Amino acid sequence: MAHKPSGMHVEDIKSEIRKRFGTLASVSEQLGMARNGITNIISQPGYSISGERKVAKLLGRKPYEIWPDRYHADGTPVSRVVDRQPTSTVPADLRQNGVAA
């Protein structure tokens, strides 16, 4: 079974920011974000790529070190877009009126 990459725990990220810079809300505002910006970035993958990079820079780390499941080792973000191409087509006799919906 493949080993799941483990980065920093959410609470570790929060505590490190609080120890160094103060409340998450004040740091978010200083970075030009909404008051809950850092909280959203930490807890929601893909919320803001630029925000994730700001948090990583703030902590003196690379984004991959903090979130290995969100970034490749070279620093590019992992795509969160789902490929929605159908794997098979619906037979024409099962379509309403014989045409695609």
Instruction: Read off the pLDDT of each residue in 47-60 and give the average, rounded to a whole number.
Output: 93
Whole-model pTM: value is 0.72
Structure confidence by residue, pLDDT tens digits, 57-100: 999 999 999 999 899 888 899 887 776 776 777 666 766 665 55
The neighbour count for residue 68, using CB atoms within 10 Å, is 17
Query: What is the pLDDT at residue 3?
Result: 57
* CA gap 8, 52 in Å, rounded: 13
**What was the pLDDT predicted at 4?**
57
The structure tokens 């803001």 sit at 48
